Amino acid sequence: MVLITGIFLDSGSVPIVSGSLTVKLDAPIIDTSTTPDSLYTQTERSFPIVNGLLPTVGATQGITLPQTATKNTTYSFTVYQTTTAPTYYFQDGRYYDGISHLYTDGFYWSGVSHSTASIRLDRVDTTAQSIVIATFHAIVPNVAQVDFAQLLPVRVATDKLPTTIQELAGVLVNTPQYLALLTQTKWQNTYNPLQLYAKYDQVFYAGSSWIFINSVPTIGQTPSTINTAYWNVLASKGDPGGTGGQDTPFDPTGWDAQMWAPTANVLRDYLITLATQAQLAIYAPKSTPQLTAPTLLANPVNADRSLAIPSTQWVGSNFATIDSATLTGNIAVPLQVTADRSNRPSSTQWVDNYFVSKAFTNAPYFIARKTSNQTLVSGANTLVYDLKPADTSNAFNLTTGTFTVPAGLGGVYELNHAVYFERSAGTTSFDLFLEIFLNSLTIHRLGHLSGINFVPVIETGTKMLVLSAGDTVQFRVAISPTTNTIASNNNYANSVLTECSGKRLLT
């Protein structure tokens, strides 16, 4: 009887195959060594596999079978794998097909993680149908013990191995002269570094013949007397005669440890690519060169921008350091764009351009004039203008006498107001006020005349205000007391006097 051992693996790492192994003779055999003779029929036997292990025979995992090598008969081996699948039910018997988890109390609950919403489940493991994962025919050798894996390479698919083939195989393997014919060397002509060579291949290289001895086919291993892991010399070239040396092209690996003399032609072809000592004498080595002082090494003039090699003295005298540089003379720097707000150095031209852009670029202005009379009553009066000689942003309303700051054009504005007054009725003295209402709330007074009892009179005023986009500026005139009515006229000495204007000075 032969003990068959082995471990069944899945994916070649963890013994997780569980199932069964069935064994059946492909033909009956009779064991004539026993008294009486034993007859082994084609009855199929099944052995369990638990986590990759066969049943225990004594202290070893395995099964025992009669050997069939002397009878030239094979067994049919089949390995089955069974799997189990869990099924979950609510405790009232209903089926649950959602996600579950095992809690620390040893029970299964619904959900990915445990919470108050989790519901306890019952788990039932169902064994799936067995599947065949391996089937083959093999002879059980006449030995005391054999590993299950050693049976696989036989791959015999008949119930009886022909005796003539078995005997022929034994003759071929056990007879030296026949074995030599099976392993006969193969001539591969001149060595080619791009060709794949296998064991017993022979080549010609560097005047000698070589045989490849490594069991692993390889590319690029050049034959030489030191490359003994891959090549052995079969026949070595003898000493050269008086006609010359070896004409093999130079090869650092192939020439290593060779005893033959290269030809002058080979040496010439290689050395022609190298510089002579005389040619190298004028050049300094790359590592720690020692330079003399030719003309090009003398300190050049300050304006020199040739290929001359300057000294550190010249560099230090003419160039400022990156850190804490001290510059002298009239330094010129590139002119940056006006909108640049980086840490680049700015020139006086840039500063001038900047303030010009701030003062005049996108600097809206307006002029509004009144060409008709308007009766004014006590209190603040809105003047109605009817002419705009200028309004660059179309931001002044003639009817309301209001200027609205355009979007993106906030800044410092200069606001001017000039009004010509004459009395149309009344004799009591009165006060005149020129006022600016900012956003209809804030009052800025531009001018004030008090105790006026004569007409005509001209009142002017100027105000500087910081305005933001969307701010409204309304020009108004106020008089007191209430007993006077004043007319505003646009003509005085042939000049327009009732007018308001504004202009942005800086952003």
Residue 157's Cβ-count burial label (10 Å; 0-12, 13-18, 19+) is exposed
The H or E element spanning position 61 is strand 60-65
Residue with tokens 């005023």: 461
3-state secondary structure of 313: helix
Cα–Cα distance list, 21 to 17, 40, 49, 53, 129 (Å): 11, 19, 7, 11, 15
The torsion angles phi and psi of 416, rounded to 5 degrees, stand at -125, 145
33 conformational bin, left if phi > 0, alpha if psi -120 to 50, beta if neither: alpha
* CA geometry: angle 49, 55, 61, nearest 5 deg: 105
Residue 270: per-residue pLDDT? 75
- Token pair for residue 41? 């029929």
Q: Which are the contacts of 28, defined by CB distance < 8 A and separation ≥ 6? A: 39, 40, 41, 42
CB 40 within 8 A of CB 25: yes
Residue 182: per-residue pLDDT? 65
* CA geometry: angle 361, 363, 367, nearest 5 deg: 150
Measured between alpha carbons, how far is 491 from 90 in angstroms, rounded to an integer?
102
Name the percent of the chain lying above pLDDT 70. 79
User: What CATH number does domain 365-506 carry, 3.40.50.720, 2.60.120.40, 2.30.30.90, 2.60.40.10?
Assistant: 2.60.120.40
Residue 327's Cβ-count burial label (10 Å; 0-12, 13-18, 19+) is exposed
Residue 96's Cβ-count burial label (10 Å; 0-12, 13-18, 19+) is middle
Residue of 490, 477, 501, 499 lying closest to 403 (CA atoms): 501
Cα–Cα distance list, 502 to 46, 195, 335, 364 (Å): 109, 93, 33, 8
Q: Write 6-11 long-range contacts (CB < 8 A, 24+).
A: 6/54, 6/61, 6/62, 6/147, 6/148, 6/149, 7/52, 7/53, 7/61, 8/49, 8/52, 8/53, 8/79, 8/148, 9/52, 10/52, 10/81
Q: Mind listing the pLDDT tens digit for each residue in 346-383?
A: 888 887 777 666 554 556 889 999 888 887 888 888 88
DSSP designation for 242 = T
CA 184 to centroid of chain Cα atoms: 56
- Token pair for residue 504? 């942005």
Residue 492: per-residue pLDDT? 40
Measured between alpha carbons, how far is 345 from 462 in angstroms, rounded to an integer?
39
Q: Would the pTM of this model clear 0.75, i.e. be above it?
A: no
Cα–Cα distance list, 336 to 145, 156, 176, 211, 436 (Å): 92, 89, 94, 77, 41
DSSP designation for 372 = S
Residue 295: per-residue pLDDT? 47
Q: Mind listing the pLDDT tens digit for each residue in 461-503?
A: 999 999 999 999 999 988 887 666 666 554 443 344 688 999 9
3-state secondary structure of 152: helix
Segments of the chain scoring below 70 in pLDDT: 7-16, 128-129, 153-184, 238-244, 273-279, 291-298, 355-363, 424-426, 454-455, 482-497, 507
The torsion angles phi and psi of 354, rounded to 5 degrees, stand at -65, -50
3-state secondary structure of 33: coil
Name beta bridge partners: 271.
none
Residue 190: per-residue pLDDT? 93
Measured between alpha carbons, how far is 435 from 447 in angstroms, rounded to an integer?
7
Residue 474: per-residue pLDDT? 95
Measured between alpha carbons, how far is 503 from 395 in angstroms, rounded to an integer?
12
Residue 28: per-residue pLDDT? 92
Residue of 160, 9, 150 lying closest to 79 (CA atoms): 9
Measured between alpha carbons, how far is 235 from 228 in angstroms, rounded to an integer?
15
> What are the domain boundaries of the chain?
2-83+130-171, 85-126, 185-274, 284-349, 365-506
Q: What is the CA radius of gyration of the chain?
A: 56
